[in-house]
Structures are given as structure tokens and as C-alpha cells.
Structure 1
């Protein structure tokens, strides 16, 4: 599907505010309400755009984040990656180039359950080595609201029902939401706006990066000279840097780039290397994205992936 400047402008506005009215969207990009509505619907129908709620992980009890690099031996990499992707606490799994064959991100209720997931990955047939990083600070994360959710005791089951509905359709009208949860339109609007304002949820457009011609994805890890806060702040503002986290493990930070060309990737990596506090940069190329599913709730009991066990003891 070909996107023109109006389509791209509408997408950008929906990324800023997924619940903006068609009248507001049209005014911001120079279109009528009717034209804005028709264009947005066409893009949604094409599969390039989805507007949905992104709930802050803490609201769902997710407090531990990590990253694993997996070396594979004696089995097809795609089979191992598929087995890792079956685990509920692996929202992101990708086949990559370099020393390791697979990169996965972990999100669990706590460090103990994160450790359980690492044990399950080690038990998968074909996994030779698992190198784990723990995220200590998320510098840039596109998959949840920037604010924390605040006091969680102020939210009830009706709020959770509203969030579930907004996960399916972030632009669902207040009247329709009210019908679903059994409240007045005004009370429903108040609840939704409160959750948006407090950072429990953000409603935003999720876009296939290829719509923007962003076809190159690269991961990188950093070793920093001192505390490194200044360097990470600078890197997080670079165009193309999609994700960045401070880590505990073999390196001090890990991140990812999404760019249009290899030349842009190389240029960004060079800019990172030029920062005074950056001592070392290592990178890898993402070859095949196997799983990307960030909007989920943590699973307490972790299942053993079918056909994956090698006789290791089951985790607690």
C-alpha cells in the first residue's frame, strides 16, 4: 500500500494521541473530518496500522525485565526460536547474526520468575549457551507509557475491563465502552481520562516499520566508562534508536536501532562510538523477527514448551 504525506501525517498524529477525534486529526494535517476518517480506516484495513491501548507493565504486576542471547548447536535455529517464543514471558524473540543465534527479551512478575524462564530456555533442545542481562533502568521503551501508574489501589475491576476493551480497539467510543461496562458515558469518560493522565495506559498507533521504509533492525550493547547517564541520555535521543536500557551483566547497556538503510545504521553506531563515555560498542543484525507481543499479563506458572525438555528439573 502506498502512503502519501497526508497518510504519514495522520499516522504520526495517532502515534501521539490514538484517541484524537477525526475532526482534530483532520485539522492538524489539513484535511476534512470525512477525509481524515476515510484515510485512517483505509490504513487500518490494510494492516499497516493498529490503534490500541498499551498498559504500563507495573499495572499488570510485571516488575522484572531482562534480555538473553542464545547460542544454538545441533538444531535448526528457527526451531529453537519457535520453542522460546512459546514461553509466556518472552514478548520479543528474534533470530540474529553474530556470535549468538537468537535474542529474546524477558518480562516477568519478579526476578525469581524471570530466572525460571531462563532455566526453561536452557532446557530447550539445541540451546548451547544462554547469556542473561537484567535491565536496571529503561532509558527508552516504546511499548509502554513513560509515566508510572502511581497508586494502583485506586483502580478496580471496571477499570481493568475498560483497559481490556481498549486493548482490542483503542478508539472505541465512550458510549460503546459505557455499554460494555455498565456505566454512564460521563463516568466512563472520567475513568478512561484518569488512566490516561496517570500513566496507567497510553492509546497509540502501532505501525509496521516498513510503512516508513524502516527495513533495517540492529541490536547493540555498550560498555561505559563511568556511570554513563549522560551518554545514555544522548543515545536515547538519536534518530533510529528504538529501545535503550541500562543493564547488569556482561555490558552496561543494550539497545536497538531501526533505520532505513545499512548506511544509516552504520552512521548511528559511529555516532554512539564517538561519545566520550562509551568505551566499547558491539552490534548484531536482526535477520528474522519471530515474536513481538508486548501487551500481555504475566504468567505465574510457566509451562514446559512442547518437545523442548532435556531432562532438567522443572522450575518452582
Structure 2
């Protein structure tokens, strides 16, 4: 079980997954030897993984209603897609939900050709994302102070999110001008966001100095965030839910602003369909979830909320789920 210091170290890695143990220790006011030992243990256990989350393509949320007993198979098929960001198995309907990075010129093929071929699928719901309110790239658990976050986001740390990161969808061709070595570098970081510059240079076919310079540029430009990928339960938030929120058009922005300020909202987007806002939330208990969907301030302009519990996650932050190592 993660204790309070473990959770603060994890929170620091959510701000900057490549932050040195020295910088994390300085930001948290803890002994460096303790942070090294705790942080290394978390990474070696597989409970915390560091991945690169890139900005490319446009997002489409896909919900699938499955034949009895087929939800895990359908969710696994979605999770194995290289363009899949997350996949969750849910209570209620749909049985599973996934976010795919799908250029709009490929959306027709996705809807008419690819999704109908999913094994065990009965019905699909395709919801193109019109605008992100918050994505997993920006979410952290609220366990760090503003000063601690500022230290981790300092000149040597992770850049603050760009104006388009989580607020406006990036253009569909944002990754097309990347060089082959940049793409190889990002692919390596997607597997291990803390791999050394020497390893990055070897994979990308460039020198260590060039790998350091190119990664720095990609981060400053907001093309990639490198951060911890975890199960929220590790931070004391074991109850996850997907909410489909319906609101009057005039109240949509007020609801979005309130959701963006809530620490329990890990993901929220404006989508097409009868429910304008899709939310993924993580909370400490089912009673906290009840309060969140019945009496929280963000509900003032909400007409209805459809709630599904997350039963299992097969992919988070572009990384397939795996069992922690012993």
C-alpha cells in the first residue's frame, strides 16, 4: 500500500515523469536518499509507470454494447489498437468505452468498417470529441502545494500545459512534420518515459546530446507530456466512474469550468450526442461518488447525469495494463 510520502512522490511524477530524484526531494522537502529508495521501489514494482503522452490526431470516444460475456474480449481488441488512449469496462450500457485518436478524414472508415468488425460487438456509439476540458495529461491528485508544483515545473522541469493542451483539440496533422528520429524517440518514451538520453539516442539513431536537445524542444513546444501512469486506487481513489452529463447549452461552459476545477475529475470532454459532456472521475468511496453526482456545485446547470462504474481498465495513458511485478 502506498503511504502519504509514496503518494506525494507519485504526484510529483505526474507533474514531470523525468524529474530527477534530487529535484523531487527538493520540491517535497524530503531526504533525497528516502525519495530515491521510495521512488525506485514504486517504479520497480510496476505499480507506477512513466509514459510519454503525445499530442496528435483528433479524439473520438467509442462506446460498445457487447454480447453476454464478451466485454473483456471487445475491450482488449480496442486497447490493442495503437491509436487507443484508454479503455475501460463499465457497469450498465455501454459495456466498455475507449478514446481513439482518429483524424476526421478517417472517421467514416472507423464507424463503417473497423468498429463493426469487433468480435462480440452488438452495438457501437461513436462520439467525436469537440473540445477537451481536461485530459489525463493535466490531471494530478491535489496532494502537492502550488509551490511544490511550481518547483517541479520550473525551468529545468516539465513545461506548463500549452494553451491547446486540454483546452482546444490540436490540428489533425500536428505530428506529421516530426522527423523519423523524433518519432522513434517518442515511441521509446511511450514505453519507458525515464529511459536515459543515451538509450534514446541509440534508439533514434542520434547522439546523446541530440536526443537531449530534441526531447527538450518537443516538451517546450507542448508536443509531449511525460508523466506517471497509475491506477487511481494507489492514490486512495479506488472508485472510478464514467459520467455522461446533459446540460442546457447556455450552462455548458459553467459546468465545464466547475469540472475543470474539481480534483476528482481525471478527464472531461465536450462530445457529440445527447449528453454533451463525458467525464471520468476517481473518488475515495461510493458515498463520495454519491455526493459528487447529487450535491456537488458543478451540478447547478446540469439537467441529468448517467453514472457507470469502471470495473476494469485495460489501457491508461496509451499504456496497456499489466500485472505488478512481485
Contact 1:241/1:255, CA 8 A, preserved across alignment: yes
* Aligned counterpart, 1:20: 19
Task: Kindly report which structure 2 residues correspond to 1:46-65, keeping only aligned pairs within 5 A, or say none.
Answer: 46-56=45-55, 58=56, 62-63=57-58, 65=59
Match of 2:305 among 275, 278, 281: 281
Distance 1:20 1:113, change over 3 A: same
* Aligned counterpart, 2:111: 118
Contact 2:233/2:239, CA 8 A, preserved across alignment: no
Q: Which moved more, 1:196-205 or 1:178-187?
A: 178-187
CA RMSD of aligned residues (A): 2.9
Distance 1:209 1:53, change over 3 A: same
Match of 1:104 among 98, 108, 113: 98
1:153-184 deviation digits (Å, cap 9, x = unpaired): 76422222322332233223334434554555
Contact 2:245/2:304, CA 8 A, preserved across alignment: yes
- Give the whole-Å Cα distance in 1 for the aligned partners of 2:211 and 2:82: 31
* Aligned counterpart, 2:147: none
Distance 1:113 1:24, change over 3 A: same
Once the two structures are TM-superposed, the CA of residue 112 in structure 1 deviates from its matched residue by 4.2
Match of 2:72 among 73, 78, 84: 78
1:52 is paired with a residue of what secondary structure?
strand
Distance 1:78 1:43, change over 3 A: closer
Contact 2:201/2:207, CA 8 A, preserved across alignment: yes
Once the two structures are TM-superposed, the CA of residue 131 in structure 1 deviates from its matched residue by 2.5
1:229-265 deviation digits (Å, cap 9, x = unpaired): 1221111221211110001112211111111200111
Q: Which moved more, 1:198-207 or 1:286-295?
A: 286-295
Contact 1:220/1:254, CA 8 A, preserved across alignment: yes
Q: Which moved more, 1:20-29 or 1:99-108?
A: 99-108
Match of 1:140 among 134, 137, 153: 134
Distance 1:8 1:269, change over 3 A: same
2:263 is paired with a residue of what secondary structure?
coil
Match of 1:200 among 197, 209, 223: 223
Contact 2:241/2:281, CA 8 A, preserved across alignment: yes
TM-score of the pair, normalised by structure 1: 0.79
Contact 2:258/2:297, CA 8 A, preserved across alignment: no
2:216 matched to 1:222? no
* Aligned counterpart, 2:293: 269
1:191 is paired with a residue of what secondary structure?
helix
Structure 1 gaps, min length 5: 297-316
2:132 is paired with a residue of what secondary structure?
strand
Q: Which moved more, 1:169-178 or 1:244-253?
A: 169-178
1:103-160 deviation digits (Å, cap 9, x = unpaired): 233322x234333333333344543332222210011111489435797676422222
2:154 matched to 1:130? no
TM-score of the pair, normalised by structure 2: 0.77
* Aligned counterpart, 1:170: 193
- Give the whole-Å Cα distance in 1 for the aligned partners of 2:32 and 2:297: 47
2:93 matched to 1:94? no
Contact 2:269/2:277, CA 8 A, preserved across alignment: yes
Structure 2 gaps, min length 5: 139-159, 165-169, 321-326
- Give the whole-Å Cα distance in 2 for the aligned partners of 1:52 and 1:77: 26
1:257-296 deviation digits (Å, cap 9, x = unpaired): 1112001111111245763322221111122334446269
Q: How many residues align?
A: 289
Contact 2:63/2:124, CA 8 A, preserved across alignment: yes
- Give the whole-Å Cα distance in 2 for the aligned partners of 1:258 and 1:164: 28
- Give the whole-Å Cα distance in 1 for the aligned partners of 2:268 and 2:257: 9
Contact 2:136/2:317, CA 8 A, preserved across alignment: no
- Give the whole-Å Cα distance in 2 for the aligned partners of 1:182 and 1:88: 23
- Give the whole-Å Cα distance in 1 for the aligned partners of 2:18 and 2:136: 18
